[in-house]
Amino acid sequence: MSISTLGREGSSTSGDPMVEGRVLVKSFGRTPALNGASVAVASGEILAVMGPSGSGKSTLLHCLAGIFTPDAGEVLFDGRRIDSLGENRRSELRRTDFGFVFQFGQLVPELTIEDNIALPMLLGGTARRDAYAAARSWLPRLGLDDLGGRRTGEVSGGEAQRVALARALVHQPKVLFADEPTGSLDSLTGEHVMELLVTLVREEYTTVVLVTHEARVAAYADRMVLVRDGKVTVAEPPAVRADPSVGVAAQPVGVARPHPPSAAR
């Protein structure tokens, strides 16, 4: 592989997947959630998993992250089966190699922001001093410089979600699992959180599984798949030709506009 293909573009098509689900089946009682779902996420790739409510997309994330055990099928992390591991081993894996961001309720309200960010490292056995040093180093990257001592109840929803992001990434996990990470935020704040998420995971070269029902959020990913009726359909972009019925030529990727970019930036 040449250096030029080592970037994100190349990563999505080459090498072994970082996370993979093979023909996953999972039911809750009589309700089937996954019905033969297969998906592979390359190292360093941001994959969006889309689908309507009840399609099974969150169940898929929970299976890939080793939170749920599938009824059938295999889950692999970095080439190794994890679905057959015991709960203790999977729990350890979730603490060390995975990070999680959810829609709600992930921060401990009694603790300060710094405490919350340091928590996964403390639980993972990192020395208190090191854990807090790491937590503090994340504050400026998230634009939370002066808020480290506040309790989570004292900050806005967007700030709380940025704290959650820091907490998910502070131990430098290999994979970030994000389930509707902007679901509780207004659209502008949500965009800000997604900007930050993408910037940070690209810096850290973290693989991301991003579950969302919002196309605008999914659009931050490198690639998207759709979950429908418990199966994964790959939303491969088809070859789009200029429709003969459209009066203008096919637009390039850039936005067409009447004036050249302003010199004042």
Partner 1 sequence: MSVPLTLLGLLEREPSHGYDLKRDYDTFFGWGRALPFGQVYATLSRLARDGKVSAGRAEPGAGPDRKRYSITERGAADVDEWLRTPIEPEPHLQTQLFTKVILSLMLGRSARTYLDTQRAAHLERMRQLTELRRTAGSLDGLLADHGLFHLEADLRWIDLTEARLDAIAAAIDNDEEVQP
| Of residues 129 and 241, the one with the C-beta less far from partner 1 | 241
Element (H, E) at 224: strand 223-228
Question: How many CB atoms within 10 Å of residue 128?
Answer: 10
We find the least distance from the C-beta atom of residue 135 to partner 1, in angstroms, to be 27
We find the least distance from the C-beta atom of residue 230 to partner 1, in angstroms, to be 17
Q: Both tokens of residue 24?
A: 């996953």
Element (H, E) at 118: helix 113-123
| Of residues 3 and 253, the one with the C-beta less far from partner 1 | 253
Q: Are 113 and 148 in contact (CB under 8 A)?
A: yes
Computed from CA positions of residues 246, 248, 250, 256, in that sequence, does the dihedral angle turn out positive or negative?
A: negative
We find the least distance from the C-beta atom of residue 79 to partner 1, in angstroms, to be 28
| Of residues 91 and 251, the one with the C-beta less far from partner 1 | 251
How open is the CA angle 144-150-154, to the nearest 5 degrees? 95
We find the least distance from the C-beta atom of residue 114 to partner 1, in angstroms, to be 29
What are the φ/ψ torsions at residue 52 (nearest 5 degrees)? -70, 170
| Of residues 13 and 251, the one with the C-beta less far from partner 1 | 251
We find the least distance from the C-beta atom of residue 225 to partner 1, in angstroms, to be 10
| Of residues 155 and 226, the one with the C-beta less far from partner 1 | 226
The residues near 83 (Cβ < 8 Å, ≥ 6 apart) are 63, 66, 69, 70, 73, 74, 75
Q: Are 150 and 113 in contact (CB under 8 A)?
A: yes
We find the least distance from the C-beta atom of residue 49 to partner 1, in angstroms, to be 12
Residues that bind partner 1 (CB under 8 A): 50, 52, 195, 198, 215-216, 218-222, 224, 226, 233, 235-238, 240-246, 250-251, 253-255, 257, 261-262, 265
Determine the Cα–Cα distance for residues 164 and 116; give it in Å rounded to an integer: 8
| Of residues 1 and 255, the one with the C-beta less far from partner 1 | 255
